[in-house]
Structure 1
Amino acid sequence: MSTRVGPLDVDALRARLDRATAAAAVAGVDALLISPGSDLRYLIGAGGSSYERLTCLVLPVGGTPVLVVPKLEQPGYAAIPTDDLGVEVAAWVDGEDPYALVKRALKGTDRIAVSDMTAALHTLALRDAIGGEQVLAGPVLRELRMRKDAAEIEGLRKAGAAIDRVHARIGEWLKVGRTEAEVGADIAAAILAEGHEEVAFVVVGSGPNGASPHHALSDRVIGAGEVVVVDIGGPVAEGYNSDSTRTYVLGEPKDADVAETYAVLQAAQRAAVDAVRPGVTCEEVDAVAREVIADAGFGEYFVHRTGHGIGLDVHEEPYIVAGNDLPLEPGMAFSVEPGIYLPGRWGARIEDIVVATETGVESFNNRPHELVVLPA
């Protein structure tokens, strides 16, 4: 269980708690119940882990926050400045009813918002103990979390630089005759060596496997002339994630259409990044990338959204997708990652993490966007 507060100071955490309760009040919610995970880490600096024993931050509007935690797990939260944050700790031992502690901390409420990822084991028990109406806390908290502050942006900037260093070394491991799994193991070790706390994911999609956007790893042997999609990421110590994709080829491409098709993808990704600025909607950025690819005749082969928000979670709001008319604001960070996937043949994707600034866009990934040719 992580207890890192990262670069945040007590004042920053207290401000987040205050903003969360204010947002809850605006949403007509009497209290937030926050279980372990990224929401908890955002609010108090430690995410913890969810088990069969209840851990829950009770955040009532106009009341005192209470962290309900099993006594045997309480040491894991020792680094959290609960006194300075004005958070009471209610530790419980086996045999006690933790849901009754939550009810007591609420002091009578009618409408409660529960963390989206709270286990059903706890959600149903809380409903039985508290009564009233329960709704999701996601719509309240995502309004706060998708607008990154300076410390969060610095964490994402650090993560982007770390994953760029890994991509710069791909040629050390991506070689003809090796399997995707062998290459992936070396990349995973480098993700840790270059400054990440964990490996969130490693995708090495060679040849036809590259046409599957969420292919991970396999025992397929990589051949000469094959296009290989490498999508990698993970969190740095501050909890903020990297996520970057580059496409490689081992020697001269064996398919004659690779260079021309990849040029379309590169133009689409560049156009979408250039479109990012405050006031432009998420769906407009998606449309820019999609139009370039469709106009070149590859529209049916771009099979996913253009991007997703990123922060303490790899995937979070805002989503860069058709139908999302949310205007971009400074501090919104997300991926721009169009792809072209030719079933049974090969695929390609280019992905950068960017943030909307006051005047435009900043990219946290700065590796070249050209198709990277490695020795066969």
Structure 2
Amino acid sequence: MTLVDYADRMSRAARAAADAGLAGLVITPGPDLTHLCGYQPVATERLTALLLAPGRTPRLLVPVLERPDAEAAPGADATEVSGWMDGGDPYEALAGLLPPGRRFGISDGAWAMHLLGLQRTLPDTAYSALSEALPMLRAVKDAHEVELLAAAGAAADAVFEEIVGVRFAGRRESDIAADISALLRGYGHSQVDFTIVGSGPNGANPHHEAGDRVIEDGDMVVLDFGGLKDGYGSDTTRTVHVGEPTKEELKVHEVVREAQEAAFEAVRPGAACQDIDRVARKVIGEAGYGEYFIHRTGHGIGVTTHEPPYMVEGEHLPLVPGMCFSIEPGIYLPGRFGVRIEDIVTCTETGGRRLNNTDRELRIVV
């Protein structure tokens, strides 16, 4: 028996669409479809689309050959499933379900060929990306979702506690990344999304791809990794040091730690997302490193590891209980080293709750 009320999710999404002035939502394969009705087909050139509109039963249009899988999806009982045959026109089939001359929300990940096919068939319709039209669609998690995220975070924490016990010096970044990937799967992750290992000067690139650089004694090493466990994301970053750090390295790490802590303490219902970014940026700026903090402070997480809301200047959405997001300030000194510390946090009625709980002090490795 599923713990998710997919019918309620779809109904709330349809109401949100109406409140946003949309005639309905066109949901294509990807995280929105998974979240709303539990169906996870592979996106292909064959159109699959869930249509949600206020006051109407959800309609799931699928290729006939995939209809058995669609009907077995957890939320399928709350939809009317219909199929289209190869050789037929799926856009005509979907157009028959859409009122003409209206605006619809459509999944951000919808293939261009499918959107263009709809526009060709219904030239008087218009479409808005869901992340812009309904940024809160998946932003607020229920208690069950929060605990799934907490379990994913605990698994990532366990990975960190193991990886700091391996030898770093003399090994390639890609070797450490492979160890992390294997550990994530060993701790229940079905999908590994990223394993960033940025050693020495590579750590100054926030999204450095682990490469063939051999890690040396004296290196600062940024470790950022995550993926999906039981359908929900993990994402954590800690920075370690091979051997004893210099005073400057200790100082930079402490500034980032203080910024991360201050941003966490700022989490409360009603605070704007940009407020979290401003708090972290203020600490780093006052320490003289403002120009080296070159990315937003955080991003939402759920059925994907990056999704709205974003902790960034200009994002005025207020935090509400159930929002889950990263807090990950960093300092990146070009050609030298970088430091980042990241936890996933959920907003509660009284403040913030960390879903990552490993030590945030600079850890020494060998």
After TM superposition, the score normalised by the length of structure 1 is: 0.93
Within the alignment, does 1:280 sit opposite 2:271 as a pair?
yes
Segments of structure 1 that go 5 or more residues without pairing to the other structure are none
Specify the code of the residue in structure 2 equivalent to 1:309.
G
CA apart distance, 1:260: 1.4
* SS state at 1:169 partner: helix
Q: Is the 8 A contact 1:31 1:109 kept in 2?
A: no
Q: Is the 8 A contact 1:23 1:140 kept in 2?
A: no
Once residues 109 and 153 of structure 2 are traced to their aligned partners in structure 1, the CA distance between those partners, rounded to angstroms, is 26
CA apart distance, 1:42: 1.0
- Aligned equivalent of 2:7: 14
**Which deviations, in whole Å up to 9, do the C-alpha atoms of 1:51-110 show, x marking residues without a partner?**
11111112233222211111222343343145631x111112210111111112235562
Within the alignment, does 1:346 sit opposite 2:332 as a pair?
no
Q: Is the 8 A contact 1:20 1:140 kept in 2?
A: no
Q: Is the 8 A contact 2:70 2:76 kept in 1?
A: no
Once residues 75 and 292 of structure 2 are traced to their aligned partners in structure 1, the CA distance between those partners, rounded to angstroms, is 51
Q: How does 1:181-330 map to 2 (within 5 A)?
A: 181-237=174-230, 239-253=231-245, 255-330=246-321
Once residues 294 and 177 of structure 2 are traced to their aligned partners in structure 1, the CA distance between those partners, rounded to angstroms, is 24
Instruction: Point out 4+ residue stretches in structure 1 off by more than 4 angstroms.
Output: none
* SS state at 1:184 partner: helix
Which stretch shifts more, 135-144 or 225-234?
135-144
Which of 24, 27, 37 aligns to 1:34? It is 27
Q: Is the 8 A contact 1:203 1:214 kept in 2?
A: yes
Specify the code of the residue in structure 1 equivalent to 2:153.
G
Change (3 A) 1:107 1:325: closer
Within the alignment, does 1:68 sit opposite 2:61 as a pair?
yes
Q: Is the 8 A contact 1:332 1:356 kept in 2?
A: yes
Q: Is the 8 A contact 1:82 1:88 kept in 2?
A: no
Once residues 284 and 10 of structure 2 are traced to their aligned partners in structure 1, the CA distance between those partners, rounded to angstroms, is 43
Once residues 141 and 174 of structure 1 are traced to their aligned partners in structure 2, the CA distance between those partners, rounded to angstroms, is 46
**Which deviations, in whole Å up to 9, do the C-alpha atoms of 1:310-336 show, x marking residues without a partner?**
111211111111122222111111100
- Aligned equivalent of 1:373: 364
- Aligned equivalent of 2:322: 331
- Aligned equivalent of 2:43: 50
* SS state at 1:199 partner: strand
- Aligned equivalent of 1:95: 87
CA apart distance, 1:353: 0.3
Within the alignment, does 1:355 sit opposite 2:346 as a pair?
yes
Within the alignment, does 1:162 sit opposite 2:162 as a pair?
no
**Which deviations, in whole Å up to 9, do the C-alpha atoms of 1:99-134 show, x marking residues without a partner?**
111112235562222212111100000111123232
Once residues 147 and 83 of structure 1 are traced to their aligned partners in structure 2, the CA distance between those partners, rounded to angstroms, is 23
Once residues 273 and 123 of structure 1 are traced to their aligned partners in structure 2, the CA distance between those partners, rounded to angstroms, is 40
Change (3 A) 1:358 1:89: same
- Aligned equivalent of 2:105: 113
Once residues 303 and 206 of structure 2 are traced to their aligned partners in structure 1, the CA distance between those partners, rounded to angstroms, is 23
* SS state at 1:138 partner: helix
Change (3 A) 1:83 1:198: closer
CA apart distance, 1:23: 0.9
Q: Is the 8 A contact 2:265 2:352 kept in 1?
A: yes
Once residues 111 and 250 of structure 1 are traced to their aligned partners in structure 2, the CA distance between those partners, rounded to angstroms, is 56
Change (3 A) 1:174 1:48: farther
Change (3 A) 1:125 1:268: same
Which stretch shifts more, 90-99 or 217-226?
90-99
After TM superposition, the score normalised by the length of structure 2 is: 0.96
**Which deviations, in whole Å up to 9, do the C-alpha atoms of 1:324-362 show, x marking residues without a partner?**
222211111110000011100011100000011001110
Q: Is the 8 A contact 2:235 2:343 kept in 1?
A: yes
Once residues 284 and 174 of structure 2 are traced to their aligned partners in structure 1, the CA distance between those partners, rounded to angstroms, is 31
Q: Is the 8 A contact 1:90 1:101 kept in 2?
A: no
Change (3 A) 1:291 1:174: farther
Segments of structure 2 that go 5 or more residues without pairing to the other structure are none
CA RMSD of aligned residues (A): 1.6
**Which deviations, in whole Å up to 9, do the C-alpha atoms of 1:239-285 show, x marking residues without a partner?**
110000000111112x4411112111111111110111111111111
